[in-house]
Chain A
Amino acid sequence: MHFYESSIITTKDGLHCQVYSNQHPDNKILVKPKYIPTGKISSDFLPYRFISGRKMNRLNLWVNDQDKLKQYIEDFKKAYPDYIFKSPLHDKSPLFFAVPREKIERAYSPSEGLCDLMSIPVKDLDDHLRTVVELVSFLLKSNLELKDFGITYSTLMGHYSSYRSDINIVVYGKKKFWELMRFLEKNSHKGLRWKTYEQWEEFYKKRNRHMIHRKDIYIRNMHRKKSEGFFRNTLFVIFAVENDDEAWFKWGEERYKRLGTAKFKAIVKEDESSAVRPGCYIVSDSKFISGDSSCKNLDITKVVFYSRDYSMLAYKGEKIEVSGVVEEVRNKGGEKYNRVVIGYFDSYLDERRDNEYIKVIEG
Chain B
Amino acid sequence: MTRYHEAALVDSTDGIQFKVYGSTHPKGFIIAKPKYVPSGVLNLVGLKKRFLFGKCMYRFNLFNSKEIVEKNLGAIRKKFPYYIYECKKHRNWFLGVPENKVKKFYDTKKGLQELIKVPVEDLDPYLKATRKMIGILGEAGISTENLGISHSTLLGNYTPGKSDIDILIFGVENGWKAIRHLEKCKNTSLTWKSKEDWARYYKDRVVSKVYTEKEYVANMVRKKDDGLIDGNVFSLFCIEDEKESWYDWEADHNPLGTVKIKAKVKDAYHSIVRPGYYELEETKVLEGHKEVPIKKVVTWARPFSLQAKENEEIEACGLLEKVKTKKEEFYQLVIGYFDTYTSDRGEKEYLKALIS
Contact = CB atoms under 8 A, between A and B. Distances in A.
A51 B156 contact: yes
Nearest to A107: B54
Interface stretch (B121-129, B167-175, B180-188): B121-129
Given A48-B122, A116-B55, A121-B49, A53 B156 contact: yes
Interface stretch (A60-68, A153-161, A190-198): A153-161
Contacts of A121: 49
B51 A50 contact: no
A119 B39 contact: yes
Contact of A120 (B50, B111, B122, B127): B50
A216 interface: no
B263 interface: no
Contacts of A129: 51
Given A113-B54, A121-B49, A53 B39 contact: no
Given A113-B54, A117-B56, A120-B56, A50 B159 contact: no
Nearest to A161: B124
Contacts of A49: 118, 122
B53 A53 contact: no
A158 B117 contact: no
Q: Which interface residue of B39, B54, B56, B117 has the most chain A CB atoms within 10 A?
A: B54
A113 B57 CA distance: 11
B1 to A, nearest CB: 20
A38 B56 CA distance: 30
Contacts of B91: none
Interface string B27-63: 0000000000001100000001111111110000000
Which 10 A-B residue pairs are closest in the complex by CB-CB distance? A116-B56, A53-B111, A48-B122, A159-B156, A158-B157, A113-B54, A55-B114, A120-B49, A108-B54, A55-B117
Contacts of A47: 122
A159 B52 CA distance: 9
Given A48-B118, A159-B157, A53 B107 contact: yes
Find the residue from B114, B117, B122, B127 having the highest chain A CB count within 10 A: B114
Q: B107, B119, B124, B156 — which one has the most chain A CB atoms within 10 A of its CB?
A: B156
Nearest to A39: B114
Contacts of B49: 119-121, 124
Contacts of A71: none
Contact of B50 (A48, A124, A162): A124
B273 interface: no
Contacts of B56: 116-117, 119-120
B286 interface: no
A62 B265 CA distance: 64
Given A47-B122, A50-B122, A119-B39, 6 more contacts: A8-B54, A53-B156, A54-B111, A55-B114, A55-B117, A161-B124
A113 B118 contact: no
B51 A53 contact: no
Contact of B127 (A50, A113, A124): A50
Interface string A138-158: 000000000000000000111
A126 interface: yes
A125 B51 contact: yes
Interface in A192-218: none
A17 to B, nearest CB: 14
A120 B49 CA distance: 6
Contact of B160 (A38, A55, A120, A161): A161
A178 B101 CA distance: 46
Contact of A50 (B52, B54, B156, B157): B156
Contacts of A293: none
5 contacts: A48-B119, A112-B54, A116-B55, A117-B51, A126-B162
B106 interface: yes
A1 B154 CA distance: 30
Nearest to A159: B156
A86 B155 CA distance: 34
Contacts of A290: none
A331 interface: no
Interface residues of B, number: 32
Nearest to A119: B56
A160 to B, nearest CB: 9
A261 interface: no
B110 interface: yes
B115 interface: yes
A158 B118 contact: no
Contacts of B162: 126
Residue of B52, B55, B154 contacting most chain A CB atoms (<10 Å): B55
A51 B158 CA distance: 11
A214 B50 CA distance: 47
A320 B108 CA distance: 54
Q: Residue among B51, B115, B155, B157 with the most chain A CB within 10 A?
A: B51
Contacts of A162: 159-160
Contacts of A117: 51, 56
A39 to B, nearest CB: 8
B55 A113 contact: yes
Nearest to A126: B159
A121 B56 CA distance: 11
Nearest to A8: B54
Given A113-B55, A158-B157, A161-B124, A50 B115 contact: yes
A148 B76 CA distance: 33
A18 interface: no
Nearest to A152: B54
Contacts of B111: 53-54
A51 B156 CA distance: 6
Contacts of A55: 114-115, 117-118
Interface in B15-35: none
A6 interface: no
